[in-house]
Amino acid sequence: MVSILFITNFLILTGVIGGFITVIILTIASRKFLKGDVRSFAELLLCGCMFLYSFLVTQSLIDIFMLSEGFFQILKGIFLYIATLYFIFAGIRIYTISKVLGFASEKISKKLKRILEI
């Protein structure tokens, strides 16, 4: 019978691998954009994902190796805090982009509304 510890460690390991692949894909994608607001948004999103990934790796190390949580709790908190800041800045950047494109205004033309509803 497969133990719960094995299943848990397998899920943690696949999550870590998935996070690593996400960071690689976001790095490649952010390099493809021209310099500007969209690239800045992608880079902020990438940094947020990297710190979130660091948080998950730290939590995974605690779970797998049953480490004491004193230092690692602080480290996890720092990673999560910085990731949250990057995601907030990315949200502000995408709001700025939507304002430039005209989607954040209250008066969107009727033609544009019809296109978006289709």
Instruction: Judge residue 79's burial from the number of C-beta atoms within 10 Å of its C-beta, 0-12 exposed, 13-18 middle, 19 or more buried.
Output: buried
**Is 90 exceeded by the pLDDT of residue 86?**
yes
> How far out from the chain centre does Cα 88 lie?
11
Which of 42-46, 83-87, 97-101 tops mean pLDDT?
83-87
Instruction: Give the residue extent of every domain in the chain.
Output: 4-117
Tell me the Cα Rg of the chain.
20
Global pTM reads 0.74
* Amino acid 66: pLDDT: 81
pLDDT tens digit sequence for 24-74: 988 888 888 878 888 888 899 999 989 998 998 888 888 778 887 688 888
CA dist 85 and 91 (Å) reads: 10
